Chain A
Amino acid sequence: MTLILFFEQLLNGIQFGTMLFLMSAGLTLIFGVMGLINLAHGSFYMIGAFSAALIAALTESFWLALLASLAGAAIAGVLIEIIIIRRLYRRDHLDQVLATFALILLLSEGVRWCFGAFPLHLNIPNVLNGTVSIFDNIIYSKYRLFIIFMGFLIALGLYILITKTRLGIRIRAGQNDRQIISALGVDISKLYTIVFAIGASLAGLAGAMIGAIQSVEVGMGEPILILAFVVIVIGGIGSIKGALVGSILVGVTDTIGRIFLPELLKVFMETSNATSVGSSIGSMLIYILMALILIIKPSGLFGKS
């Protein structure tokens, strides 16, 4: 029983981790290439989910909705990059933090204006409804398994994009030295827009996929944005590999901790106390993990010191 529960929660943790990866990969890429700290990244998560919910309501197709989340977030990303973000690359981090914080207010209220304050729903397609049994005795949701699969597929896609394609070479060059690559004739502002759009669309996709399990509402991107920051701090800023490892680590620690810490504490104290103390500490566990990694390696697991 406990072992089965453990595996189930482990899978839940990995599922959560892969979605965190979609968020943090974009965030870390944008920071690595443009040196921009983007608090509004969670808004693209929200925009993706809302675009998906809108298209799903119109066409009743989940797959079109997923495409819409990519497209919606990418379009929003391109527009916002050209109108506002572009002016922030040369500014210091404080200006970037404030401007992107202001963007959150703008985008959240904008979406509330268009869609109202009530949460929307996005349905899981029939193919992915129900459960599937793994190794005979672990019964697990098909849809969550699909999320894990998509997460790793995108991780692989990003790896190929960055290591094998021409665009990837430019992105890596941009990370190393932006003056030189613009001197070599690469249109740097176009490259920045593309990178920003990639990051935004990944966040949008994550928003749509999670939106189908939870609900699609204003402000849904903020908790996950902050977790993505924790991931980046743990993994090292600018490193996609770090983002992947960090995401899985944070996803699993958070999920397992919340479930098993109260159980573990029941060994030492009364049941009611164990539940409240356990759940409180469980919610802090990833931050404690972050603090520990920070003490050992201030630049993150894969960061350049």
Chain B
Amino acid sequence: MIIEKFFNKWIMFFLILIPTCGVIFDEPYFITLATKVVILGIAGIGLNLALGYCGLISLGHAAFFGIGGYITGILSFHALNDEVLFSWPVVVSGSSEMLIIWPIAILVSALFSFIIGLLSLRTSGVYFIMITLAFAQMLYFFSISWPNYGGEDGLSIYIRNSFPMLNTMDPLSFYIISLFWLLFSIFISLKLINSPFGMSFQAIKQNEERVKSVGIETFKVKLLVFVISGTITGLAGSLYTDLNRFVSPTVLDWHTSGEIMVFVILGGMARLYGPLVGAAFFIALEQTLGSYTENWQFWLGLILILVILYARSGILGLFDKKLKHEK
């Protein structure tokens, strides 16, 4: 654990170093990549709460990522076109203010995670995996066949939503905003994990029956974890739309669920910074292998299989063991 903390300091160092280098060498692409890592890291941190700490294998977190993304896209789309969002029962118009969009994205993601969780948590094991997958896929097909917001082609928003005092189109400013949310979600996770509630959901991962027998209503605990987890991932989706200034059904595709899960596993499950490391590794792989071959996903698949078969504790786990051994 101490060694992991040592690593976490290095990770923080890199989070500051990379964009600084980007500014010094005038490579805004570096900053954009770092922002992508940070945002995908947030999505992974969200999933990690449910998957890593509570053992809820959700293959449907693309649903929340996509909902956060679409809420952001839709609100700013309406603001840009100066149309009302809906006029009944009250007139609601779109918005391009992040400070308005975030709470809405958070609320809607929370609502959807609540509904999906309520239904899915009635089951467990393989059923749970398949059902979360199916619900996400339902939203995916809905987004394709609903023509108002671009359908299959997706929705472009041209200008990033605005934040008071900052020019969000400047890569560094947007990076700082994303970094703030990353730190916030790590902080929330840390507080949760060490709270009595955190103890109970981590205990559920180990033995749900025993947790029940001490009088804890495990269903409610699991539901709450699932909602918090989905909400954090939804927030990441909102930032992701702003990063790309574009949202399409791809964010709801089940490959996205798989990839978020891959971040968690590559970095190391139930480790606070694991998903961030996983996302960084994933993006680095995409950038390096992707420049050599179009079929980089082939190699990703191969690496993943090797990690699962031989290095189950992920990258952080690998270093952890090594360092312990040296001492």
- Decide yes or no whether A9 CB sits under 8 A from chain B: no
* Chain A residues with CB below 8 A from B127, complex form: 233, 237, 298-300
Residues of A within 8 A of B138 (CB): 284, 287-288
Whether A106 lies near B298 (C-beta < 8 A) is yes
A263 located at the interface, meaning its Cβ lies under 8 Å from any Cβ of chain B in the complex? no
B304 & A233 in contact (Cβ 8 Å cutoff): no
User: With A105-B304, A106-B301, A276-B147 in contact, is A93–B119 under 8 Å at CB?
Assistant: no
Asked if A101 and B298 make an inter-chain contact with CB atoms under 8 angstroms apart, the answer reads no
User: Once the chains are docked, how many angstroms separate the CA of A136 from the CA of B171?
Assistant: 68
Stretch at the interface among B71-79, B218-226, B305-313: B305-313
In Å, the complex CA distance between A97 and B265 comes to: 11
Residue of A nearest to B305 (CB): A102
Is B24 in contact with chain A by the CB < 8 A criterion? no
Chain A, interface residues (CB within 8 Å), range: 35 or more
Smallest Cβ distance from B206 to chain A, in angstroms? 13
Q: In the complex, A232→B134 CA distance in Å?
A: 11
Contact A97 to B57, CB < 8 A, known contacts A102-B305, A279-B145 = yes
Looking at A84, A288, A294, the one whose CB has the most chain B CB atoms below 10 A away is A294
Q: Chain B residues near A102 (CB, 8 Å)? A: 300-302, 304-305, 308
- Name the CB-closest residue of B to A279: B145
Tell me, rounded to whole Å, the shortest Cβ–Cβ distance linking B239 to chain A: 25
Contacts of B123 in A (CB 8 A): 294, 298-299
A2 to B32 Cα, complex, angstroms: 55
A94: Cβ under 8 A from any B Cβ: yes
Chain A residues with CB under 8 Å of B133's CB are 226, 229
Write out the residue numbers on chain A whose beta carbons fall within 8 Å of the beta carbon of B261: 97-98, 101
Of B145, B262, B297, the contact of A98 (CB 8 Å cutoff): B262
The 0/1 profile, CB within 8 Å of A marked 1, for residues 114-143 of chain B is 000001001101110111011101100110
| A123 in contact (CB, < 8 A) | no
Q: Does A125 contact B (CB under 8 A)?
A: no
Chain B residue nearest to A91 (CB atoms) is B308
CB pair B298–A105 under 8 Å, yes or no, is yes
Per the bound structure, the CA–CA distance linking A123 and B134 in Å amounts to 32
Nearest residue in B to A109 (C-beta to C-beta)? B298
**Whole-angstrom distance between the Cβ of A251 and the nearest chain B Cβ:** 16
Given contacts A279-B145, A283-B144, contact A291 B301 (CB under 8 A): no
* A contacts with B: majority SS: helix
Residues of the B chain whose Cβ atoms lie less than 8 Å from the Cβ of A103 = 301, 305
Interface residues of B in 237-279 (CB under 8 A from A): 254, 258, 261-262, 265
Q: Give the complex CA separation of A285 and B131 in angstroms.
A: 15
| List of A residues within 8 angstroms of B145 by Cβ | 276, 279-280, 282-283
Report yes or no: B130 in contact with A233, Cβ–Cβ below 8 A: yes
Contact (A226, B137) CB under 8 Å given A95-B312, A105-B300, A106-B302: yes
Smallest CB-CB separation from B306: which chain A residue?
A102
Q: A108 with B262: in contact, given A283-B141, A290-B131 (CB under 8 Å)? A: no
Alpha-carbon gap, A282 to B142, bound state (A): 9
Residue A208 is within 8 A (CB to CB) of chain B in the complex: no
Number of A-B contacts (CB under 8 A): 116
Give chain B interface residues in 144-160, CB to chain A under 8 Å: 144-148
Q: Quick check: is B37 within 8 A (CB to CB) of the other chain?
A: no
| The residue from A84, A107, A294 contacting B122, defined by CB atoms under 8 A apart | A294
Q: Please tell me if A194 contacts chain B, counting CB pairs below 8 Å.
A: no
In contact, A287 and B308 (Cβ under 8 angstroms): no
CB nearest neighbor in B for A110: B298
- In this assembly, does B295 line the interface, its C-beta being within 8 Å of a C-beta of chain A? yes
Does A84 contact B297, Cβ atoms closer than 8 Å? no
A99 beta carbon closer than 8 Å to chain B:
yes
The 10 closest A-B pairs by CB, nearest first: A105-B301, A106-B301, A109-B298, A102-B304, A287-B138, A283-B141, A229-B130, A102-B301, A109-B295, A105-B297
Query: B residues touching A (Cβ–Cβ < 8 Å)?
Result: 51, 57, 59, 119, 122-123, 125-127, 129-131, 133-135, 137-138, 141-142, 144-148, 254, 258, 261-262, 265, 295, 297-298, 300-302, 304-305, 308-309, 312
**Can you name 13 A-B pairs with beta carbons within 8 Å?**
A93-B57, A95-B308, A95-B312, A98-B308, A106-B302, A113-B298, A226-B134, A229-B134, A230-B130, A280-B142, A287-B134, A287-B135, A295-B119
Residues of A within 8 A of B (CB): 31, 37, 84, 87, 91, 93-95, 97-99, 101-110, 112-113, 222, 226, 229-230, 232-233, 237, 276, 279-280, 282-284, 287-288, 290-291, 294-295, 298-300
Known: A102-B308, A283-B144, A291-B135. 13 other contacts (CB 8 A): A97-B129, A98-B261, A99-B309, A102-B301, A102-B305, A103-B305, A105-B300, A109-B297, A230-B134, A282-B145, A287-B134, A287-B137, A294-B119
